[in-house]
Structure 1
Amino acid sequence: GDWGEPAERLDELYRWVESGALATAEWYLTDRVWKRRGARALRLGTAFGVVAGTALPLLDLTGTLSGSAGWGYLSLLLGAACMGCDRYFGLTSGWIRNLATAQAVQRRLQVLQFDWASECVRETLGPSEGTASEAAERCLGVLRRFSEDITELVRSETADWMVEFRAGPAPMGTQALVSGSAGGRAEPGGLPGRFSMPSVAARPNMPRQRPPEAPR
């Protein structure tokens, strides 16, 4: 766009970065749904197989249900198969990793929104230090660091998925994404909407100069 109006261009750039982060979190939250359902179904099958495989031989031993020992062994085999499928296809680890990634993106988006609001307040009250070009460069730096952070999160999650895909059985739990997410929080039911932000158009002292080009 035309950087003769830097306030409008910065606002458009912020909205573009924010919508991209929301779309990323939404994708991970949507992708985790079928994995969570599949993992719970397989875990339920595992629990049922273990219980039935333990109870049926006991009933056969006591004579309550004669000839049920064979079905008990079959139930144990089915329970082990359900557990193996869960670990091989990585359903449990996959939906947990997706949830951790979505929470990490949401947490970093909240930090971005507070940082951007701080810059908006600073420009509304009047720049206290530096020139207008430095203020624009500061805003661009906030957006650039956030974009790089989100890209690194997605790259890390993709690398973990590739390791699981190549190795076969998926390791349980997540790695560095859990530390970046809000640990111990309840699973969100859906993606929160856009947080309220101060109107960028109301910044009378936003820079009117073209921001300096980054060194190549």
Structure 2
Amino acid sequence: MRPGAGRAFPLGDWGEPGERLDELYVWVEQRALFIADWYLSDRTLKQWGARALRTGVSLGAAGAAVLPLLTLTGTLPVRHAVWGYLALLGALACICADRYFGLTSGWIRDVATAQAIQRRLETLQYDWASESVREMLGPTEGGASEAAERGLSLLRRFTEDVSEIVRSETADWMLEFRPGPSPLASQPVAVSAARPAEICAAGHNVHRFPAPPGFRPSMPRQRPPEGPL
């Protein structure tokens, strides 16, 4: 399940643009925090699962390496050497399970996405504080309409950036379900169209067999001019 949008977009009377902007800022901030919290909570289950499987891989690899050595030294009976192969098989099964369920990769994606949203939220908070200070000191250019437009532009860019972060993470998540590597983009080969005269001239200059050294091309023999009758 992917993160949702949270509360609906706040619609109100824009007769008081300052109050509406503050309400819209709170909505945008809560939406970003909700998405970041979703990724952090989703990370917890994947983190525990990935650590459990990695522990199984470590124990299986250690058992596969130690048990045959103990049988060679005579510490354990020879029949116990088969447990080393079973331990190795268990380690491979843990690796395959981690790859199949995408626990480690999903854990890393969740952490990276939550951190990216938090960094973008910090940038918005400082930009919003800067706009608030500018309004308190008095707008240097434009009026209240331009100040409201700047605030809406800040919130819109932030919302688009958060949506792009989520879209990028979702695209990476969907790539894990592809059976093989993504096909390379085929580049069209540009073929220059030659004129028929150039093709004919090139065809006359091509020799099917290389000429021997010292070979002189023979010219067609011409009939001698006939004398007057």
8 Å CA contact 1:59–1:68 kept in 2: the answer is no
- 1:29–1:168 CA distance, 2 compared to 1 (3 A): farther
Partner residue, 2:140: 128
Partner residue, 1:151: 163
CA distance in 2, matches of 1:98, 1:43: 18
Deviation at 1:62, TM superposition (A): 1.1
- State whether structure 2 residue 14 is matched by structure 1 residue 3: yes
Q: Which SS does the other structure have where 1:81 is aligned? A: helix
Q: Which SS does the other structure have where 1:165 is aligned? A: coil
Task: Specify the code of the residue in structure 2 equivalent to 1:133.
Answer: S
CA distance in 2, matches of 1:53, 1:168: 31
Moved more, 20-29 or 160-169: 160-169
Task: Specify the code of the residue in structure 1 equivalent to 2:125.
Answer: Q
CA distance in 2, matches of 1:125, 1:68: 81
8 Å CA contact 1:25–1:105 kept in 2: the answer is yes
8 Å CA contact 1:89–1:168 kept in 2: the answer is no
Aligned-CA RMSD value? 1.2
2:126 to 87, 90, 114: 114
CA distance in 1, matches of 2:109, 2:168: 11
- State whether structure 2 residue 102 is matched by structure 1 residue 78: no
Partner residue, 1:192: none
CA distance in 2, matches of 1:167, 1:144: 37
CA distance in 2, matches of 1:168, 1:59: 41
CA distance in 1, matches of 2:180, 2:160: 30
1:161 to 173, 190, 197: 173
Please identify which structure carries the higher helix content: 1
TM-score (norm 1): 0.76
How many matched pairs? Answer: 169
TM-score (norm 2): 0.72
Gaps of 5+ in 2: 1-11, 182-229
Q: Which SS does the other structure have where 2:177 is aligned? A: helix
Bigger Rg, which one:
2
- 1:20–1:81 CA distance, 2 compared to 1 (3 A): same
Deviation at 1:84, TM superposition (A): 1.1
1:68 to 49, 56, 80: 80
Partner residue, 1:17: 28
Among all aligned residue pairs of Structure 1 and Structure 2, give the percentage whose two residues are the same amino acid. Answer: 69
CA distance in 2, matches of 1:80, 1:168: 20
8 Å CA contact 1:88–1:168 kept in 2: the answer is no
- State whether structure 2 residue 74 is matched by structure 1 residue 37: no
- State whether structure 2 residue 116 is matched by structure 1 residue 104: yes
Cα displacement string for residues 86-113 of structure 1 (whole angstroms, at most 9, x for unaligned residues) = 1121100001100000000000000000
CA distance in 2, matches of 1:129, 1:167: 57
Cα displacement string for residues 17-39 of structure 1 (whole angstroms, at most 9, x for unaligned residues) = 00000000000000010000000
Cα displacement string for residues 179-200 of structure 1 (whole angstroms, at most 9, x for unaligned residues) = xxxxxxxxxxxxxxxxxxxxxx
Gaps of 5+ in 1: 170-216
Task: Specify the code of the residue in structure 2 equivalent to 1:68.
Answer: H
Task: Specify the code of the residue in structure 2 equivalent to 1:114.
Answer: Y
Deviation beyond 2 Å, 4+ runs, structure 1: 165-169
Task: Specify the code of the residue in structure 2 equivalent to 1:104.
Answer: A
